[in-house]
Amino acid sequence: MYRNLSPGAIGISASLEESINLAKAAGFEGIDLPIGEAMKLAQEKGQDYVQTLFSNANLKMGGWGLPVNWRADEATLQQQLKELAKTAQFAQQIGCTRVATWVLSFSDELPFEENFQWHVKRFRSIAQVLKDFGCSLGLEFLGPATIRKGHKHEFIYTAKGMIELGDAIATGNVGLLLDAWHWYTSGDNLDTIRSIPADRVVYVHINDAPAGVALDEQVDNVRCLPGETGVIDLVGFLRALKEIGYDGPVTPEPFSKRVNAMPPADAAKTTGDALLAVWRKAGL
């Protein structure tokens, strides 16, 4: 595992070069790849230029967001799959093969089983393109009850459920984006993490939850820096990931207004220090 920065997750808007400098200065070990920007840089300055940016800073590549509107109509999806093939080929060539997106935990139109099969069909075509270029797809479940409240049909909101969706997609390269906050708000426990094969965890988010808020009242965009409150057992979370052999990025996603308001260097350093403190408590 390595401590990874996603600049946008802490309110930083910066170029790849600037973000790499921020990540290095803040003590991170990796940084996410803005795939569109990286492809443009490769076209302008050569593929080696992008890889050299990372190697010169001694930083690993984290992952990239799935650049496909998989909820769109079929014609749009098919067109975007053609572009995805080019993107995935580039990502494979530079060595960044972890891809992620999130899945709503409800539907107001489709009952569970119909929704499940719709997601299987949609993601199978995407996952196959990614597999052709050695890429894995991490699907993020949304844990809190407050997201599902007021909607007609529940959908997947646990790690186990999302693993089952990956099994049904059956391309062999679909697993989890495991977010500590969603894991906590889903009511899950450490044994669930210990039961997941390492190759089914594609990407990890780490964050804490506000104190004094009941589990079923936690709200998605109100979170805290890793270790800020101690509400989520992040030491156990990290140790369980180490136990199963997860070797990928661990990325803070605190959704903190306080951090977002900081200058970029301060935001990166504050976030990096918070993650490092939890990291050390976990003995990593």
Question: pTM, whole model, 2 decimals?
Answer: 0.96
DSSP E strands in 209-276: the ranges are 249-252
pLDDT for 13 equals 95
Distance between CA atoms of residues 251 and 62, nearest Å: 9
Distance between CA atoms of residues 37 and 7, nearest Å: 14
**Residue 82: is it exposed, middle or buried by C-beta count within 10 angstroms (0-12/13-18/19+)?**
exposed
pLDDT for 187 equals 95
pLDDT for 120 equals 98
Residues of the chain with pLDDT under 70: none
pLDDT for 258 equals 94
Amino acid of residue 52: T
- H or E stretch at 102: strand 98-102
- The two three-digit tokens of residue 73, written as one number: 């109509």
pLDDT for 161 equals 97
Amino acid of residue 8: G
Tokens 């199978």, located at residue: 124
Give, rounded to a whole angstrom, the gap between the first and last alpha carbons of the chain.
9
pLDDT digits (tens, 9 = 90+) for 88-122: 999 999 999 999 999 999 999 999 999 999 999 99
The residue among 277, 179, 178 whose CA lies nearest residue 230 is 277
pLDDT for 240 equals 98
pLDDT digits (tens, 9 = 90+) for 34-58: 999 999 999 999 989 999 999 999 9
pLDDT for 44 equals 96
The structural domains of the chain, ordered by start, are 2-281 (3.20.20.150)
pLDDT for 244 equals 98
pLDDT for 58 equals 97
Q: Supply the angle between the helices 74-94 and 35-45 in degrees, to the nearest 10.
A: 60
pLDDT for 132 equals 98
Q: How far is CA 235 from CA 55, 190, 195, 273, in A?
A: 30, 11, 17, 15
CB 24 within 8 A of CB 54: no
202 DSSP 8-state letter: E
